[in-house]
Amino acid sequence: MSTIATTPEPPYYAVIFTSQRTEGERGYAKVAERMAELAAQQPGYLGMETARGADGFGITVSYWSSLEAISAWKRVGEHQAAQEAGKNTWYSDYHLRISRVERAYGLGT
């Protein structure tokens, strides 16, 4: 179960990863869990939020302290293998957007 990430005061960076899953499990859940674990170990990682509906459409947002941290995470070997499997097996479509968070507020603020 995902929860709302506790992030510092802006500015920081958000990677918005939107995807449509193919049919069938195909080993996805295990690797997704491992990637979440591995991302959390990277320098500059601030948090992650994820949601996927019954229709297979999902959004994962990961938060980072810098663009350099995002680039470094993209290049991690085990993550690159997962990216390839994503393209070839798990996603029928996806879009990735790298953005700079400028303002943020929550319930009661």
Residues that bind a copy of itself (CB under 8 A): 1-5, 7, 10, 14, 16, 18-20, 49-55, 57-59, 61, 67, 87, 91, 93-107
Q: Taking the complex as a whole, how short is the minimal distance between the CB of residue 101 and a copy of itself, in angstroms?
A: 4
Side by side, the strands of the sheet bearing 57-64 are 12-21, 57-64, 45-52
Alpha carbon of residue 21 to chain centroid: 14
Q: Taking the complex as a whole, how short is the minimal distance between the CB of residue 69 and a copy of itself, in angstroms?
A: 14
Q: Taking the complex as a whole, how short is the minimal distance between the CB of residue 77 and a copy of itself, in angstroms?
A: 20
**71-89 core/surface letters (b: 16 or more CB in 10 A; e: else):** eebeebeebeebeeebeee
